[in-house]
Chain A
């Protein structure tokens, strides 16, 4: 059973709201319950399951997407808050078969093991370099403090982001 169906079973007079969200460049229109979280909207209504739910308590960053170009935790944003806005998910980074430079750098630097944190980690890293194109190693570590990885020990993730920053020069 989908979480959105579960909501429907115990909803009391919920007044659904029409939302129009541009996801990875394509416009989507849906009626949602106001309490629908953006991450559930993306996974279940739009059908893009690349964005993961890790903690569901705003801590781990696995659900990170870009809202109007900035990293946000989509488990802590309502779909109605994204109405008329642009969302980019991990699926929207590659250009056809050509991976985004950050994805390539993650691959080349072995910056993932199980891969669960990776979509959020990559989205947070892209946002970090958008705001600070030439970060120091310390700035990368600080800038990714909202993203937890249980596998890599972060070392290779930091290397990958510095590698991507070098490539942008």
Chain B
């Protein structure tokens, strides 16, 4: 399978990437690791006429300590997130979710920014972003804006990003020493989650997010409210499928997904220490 022909632009700075996007509008697609974009282009589900390669912007690959949060460059690869000691210490949920992405070859190429921008409800990293209360720093023609993770996902494979905008940084509030859990249920090695759960404790209360349970990455707000109102893990987990709309596919029916969400939310809550 070979993508439809396109023109290739290699960005050597954030500015050059943004000006290529400004010039070509929604004809153009950014390519970071290419591990969501290229499979879609090979299936001809994506047919950009211009690909803007941001994969070499090494100045956007970093993990920095920002006092109350970690600042992670958008081009930081999954492998580097997985191996980073500051992330292991202050946001181990993100590390656990990232270590579950695909396989080592995929984690050598895919980036945190690309994974979030792709806005896939069945991806692992967005659930960690939501449960950790993270945000995204986005650059565009009108300068910089910061978008809270919970406002970022807009629909099936859709975010609130404009075609002329680019994620430059992901900010994750520190959750040092707080209970957390990442659960992923799948049937084959390396596969996407049939259902997944991110759970995080913090002083502000519980945050729980679900994978593959809605058209978008989604918070399990009924579970969170129950926990914050004093419910125990068993009681709260019963509400895991409330307010979300999973779909049926060859791996699972709607009912089976709802069942899995309750089972794996319970396991996550117990592991996180609720």
- Whether A33 and B109, one on each chain, are in contact in the complex, defined by CB atoms closer than 8 angstroms, is no
The answer to whether A76 touches B38, judged by C-beta atoms less than 8 angstroms apart, is yes
B163 interface residue per 8 A CB criterion: no
Interface contact B106-A58, CB-CB below 8 Å: yes
Within A38-61, the residues touching B (CB, 8 Å) are 40, 56-59, 61
Most A CB contacts (10 A, CB to CB) among B5, B41, B79 go to B5
CA distance A145 to B106 in the complex (A): 11
Q: Is the beta-carbon distance between B8 and A124 smaller than 8 angstroms?
A: no
A76 and B43 alpha carbons, distance in the complex (Å): 12
Q: Select B4's contact among A35, A56, A57, A71, beta carbons within 8 Å.
A: A35
Q: Known contacts being A56-B1, A145-B103, A146-B103, is A72 close to B109, with CB within 8 Å?
A: yes
Contact of A71 among B3, B35, B104 (CB under 8 A): B104
Tell me if A108 counts as interface (CB < 8 A to partner B).
no
Inter-subunit contact A127/B106 (CB<8 Å): no
A76-B8 in contact given A81-B53, A143-B104 (Cβ < 8 Å): no
| Docked complex Cα distance between A142 and B35 (Å) | 20
- Which one of B1, B5, B79, B189 contacts A11 once the chains associate, using CB atoms below 8 Å? B5
Q: Which of B5, B42, B189 contacts A145 (CB 8 A)?
A: B189
Contact pick for A124, options B2, B3, B105, B189, CB 8 Å: B105
Stretch in contact with the other chain, from A12-20, A23-31, A95-103, A158-166: A12-20
A–B pairs, 30, beta carbons within 8 Å: A10-B5, A12-B5, A14-B6, A17-B8, A34-B6, A34-B7, A35-B2, A35-B4, A35-B6, A35-B41, A56-B1, A57-B39, A58-B35, A58-B39, A64-B105, A67-B108, A71-B104, A71-B105, A72-B105, A72-B109, A76-B34, A76-B35, A76-B109, A77-B34, A77-B109, A80-B8, A81-B53, A142-B189, A145-B189, A147-B103
Interface residues of B (CB under 8 A from A): 1-8, 10, 34-35, 38-39, 41-42, 51, 53, 55, 79, 102-106, 108-109, 189-190
